[in-house]
C-alpha cells in the first residue's frame, strides 16, 4: 500500500505548483478539460503565463481575457462546432491592447512536441509541413536529413511544460490516474511536464486502480498533486459522468464577442465565487440536464 497522499484543495495545488511566468498546459481534447483549474489560476491572478494546448478552447479564451497569458502555443484556436474564440481573436487582431505572442503548429506538430518532451529527446521527426506556410510562420518548425535514407523530415522541438493539469475520471490519493473515453495527448503532456496536477471526478482506493491496471494513463510516480473536484471539467465533459454542455459553448459566442459581457461573466462565475462548489451552486439543474446514461463495459479477466 502506498501511504503518500498527494490530496489537496485546488486552491493549494495552484498556489504551490503554478507560478507567474510558467508554461502551463491544461490538456484534454474536447473531453476532460479542467475548467476548475483554469478558473482558480485566474482567481489567484497568475500572469505572464505561456499557455500551451492543442485546442485553446473556451478555458484559454477566458484566461487570455483575464490577462493571465503572455504567449499561446497551439494548433487549432476555435470554438468547436460553433465558431471563434473572440478574446483570442481580439488579442491577435490587435483591437485590444498588447498583442498575444503566438507559436503555432498543427495537431500532429503539437502531439510530436509532447512526445519528444515525454521521451526527453530534443526534437521529434515527422513527415509533414512540405508545401505549407507553417514553417514560415513558426521558425521552430525545421527539417533534418534522415541519416539512413537521406529523406528530409520536419522536426519540432520538445515541449517541457512547467506544469500540466489533467482532469480524469478517477485516481487514488497517490495520483495513479485512470481515464477512459478520448485520451488525447494527456499521457505525453504529463510525462513531458516538470510538475503534474491531477484533478478527478472520484477519489478511489488503490485497490480499485489495481483491479484494472490497463486503464491507468498516468502513474502516481509523476504526479505532484491530486485534487478532488466533481464536475470540475464543466462545460467540457467526463465520459460516463456528464455530457458536454453544448448550450454553454454556443452561448460563449455571444459572451466572448462583447468584452464587457465577457468581463461580467468572469466577475460572476470566476472572481465572484471562492471555489468550484460555489460555481456549481450557480448552475442548478446540471445533473438533470447532463448526467451521463449507463453504458457499462463488460470487463475482462485479469487472472493467471
Partner 1 sequence: MMATVAARELADGEVVFVGIGLPNLACNLARVTHAPNLVLIYESGAVGAVPERLPVSIGDPALVTGSLMVCGMADVFQLILQNGRIDVGFLGGAQVDRYGNINTTVIGPYERPRVRLPGSGGAAEIAIHARRTVVVSKLSPRAFPEQVDFVTSPGHRSGGVRRAELGMPGAGPVRVITDKAILAADAVAGELILAALYPGVTAAEVKASVGWPLESGRDVGCVDPPTARDLELLRCVLDPKKLYLRG
Grid cell in block for residue 20: 507567474
Of 187, 184, 282, the closest CA to residue 239 belongs to: 184
Residue number, 91 or 223, with CB nearest to partner 1: 91
- Note whether 182 binds partner 1 by CB under 8 A: yes
Q: Is 131 one of the binding residues for partner 1 (CB under 8 A)?
A: yes
Number of residues that bind partner 1 (CB under 8 A): 56
| Contact code string over 52-81 relative to partner 1, x by CB under 8 A | --xx------------------xxxxx-xx
Looking at beta carbons only, is 22 or 201 nearer to partner 1? 201
Longest dimension (CA), the chain: 64
Going across the sheet that includes 152-157, the strands are 123-126, 152-157, 142-145
Q: Which is nearer to partner 1, 22 or 245 (CB)?
A: 245
User: 24 or 190: whose CB is closer to partner 1?
Assistant: 190
With CB under 8 A as the contact rule, the residue among 2, 19, 162, 183 that binds partner 1 is: 183
Handedness of CA 285, 289, 294, 296 (dihedral sign): negative
Q: Cα–Cα distance between 126 and 108 in angstroms, integer?
A: 8
How would DSSP label each residue in 194-221? SEEEEEEEEE--HHHHHTSGGGEEE-GG
Nearer Cβ to partner 1, position 20 or 151? 151
Binding segment for partner 1 (CB under 8 A), chosen from 12-20, 84-92, 155-163, 259-267, is 84-92
128 binds partner 1 (CB under 8 A): yes
Q: Is 170 in the site for partner 1 (CB under 8 A)?
A: no
Asked if 303 interacts with partner 1 (CB under 8 A), we say no
CB of 30 to partner 1, least distance (A): 2
Cell of 54: 492543442
- Residue 163's DSSP bridge partners are 24, 195
Amino acid at each position: 500500500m502506498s501511504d503518500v497522499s498527494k490530496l489537496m484543495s485546488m486552491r493549494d495545488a495552484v498556489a504551490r505548483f503554478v507560478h507567474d511566468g510558467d508554461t502551463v498546459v491544461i490538456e484534454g481534447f474536447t473531453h476532460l478539460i479542467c475548467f476548475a483549474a483554469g478558473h482558480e489560476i485566474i482567481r489567484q491572478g497568475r500572469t505572464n503565463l505561456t499557455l500551451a494546448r492543442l485546442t485553446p478552447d473556451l478555458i484559454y479564451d477566458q484566461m487570455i481575457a483575464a490577462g493571465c497569458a503572455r504567449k499561446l502555443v497551439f494548433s487549432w484556436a476555435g470554438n468547436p462546432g460553433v465558431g471563434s474564440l473572440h478574446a483570442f481573436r481580439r488579442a491577435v487582431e490587435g483591437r485590444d491592447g498588447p498583442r498575444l505572442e503566438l507559436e503555432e503548429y498543427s495537431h500532429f506538430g503539437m502531439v510530436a512536441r509532447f512526445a519528444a518532451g515525454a521521451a526527453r529527446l530534443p526534437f521529434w521527426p515527422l513527415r509533414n509541413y512540405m508545401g505549407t506556410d507553417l514553417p514560415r510562420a513558426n521558425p521552430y518548425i525545421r527539417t533534418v536529413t534522415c541519416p539512413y535514407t537521406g529523406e528530409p523530415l520536419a522536426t519540432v522541438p520538445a515541449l517541457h511544460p512547467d506544469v500540466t493539469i489533467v482532469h480524469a475520471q478517477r485516481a487514488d490519493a497517490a495520483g495513479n490516474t485512470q481515464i477512459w473515453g478520448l485520451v488525447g495527448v494527456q499521457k505525453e503532456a504529463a510525462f513531458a511536464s516538470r510538475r503534474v496536477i491531477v484533478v478527478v471526478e472520484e477519489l478511489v482506493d488503490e485497490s480499485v486502480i489495481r483491479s484494472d491496471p490497463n486503464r491507468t494513463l498516468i502513474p502516481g510516480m509523476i504526479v505532484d498533486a491530486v485534487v478532488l473536484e466533481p464536475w470540475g471539467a464543466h462545460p467540457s465533459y467526463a465520459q460516463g459522468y456528464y455530457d458536454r454542455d453544448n448550450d454553454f459553448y454556443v452561448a460563449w459566442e455571444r459572451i466572448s464577442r462583447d468584452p464587457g459581457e465577457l468581463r461580467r461573466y468572469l466577475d460572476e462565475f470566476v472572481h465572484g465565487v471562492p471555489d468550484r462548489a460555489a460555481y456549481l451552486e450557480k448552475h442548478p439543474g446540471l445533473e438533470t440536464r447532463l448526467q451521463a446514461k449507463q453504458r457499462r463495459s463488460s470487463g475482462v479477466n485479469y487472472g493467471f
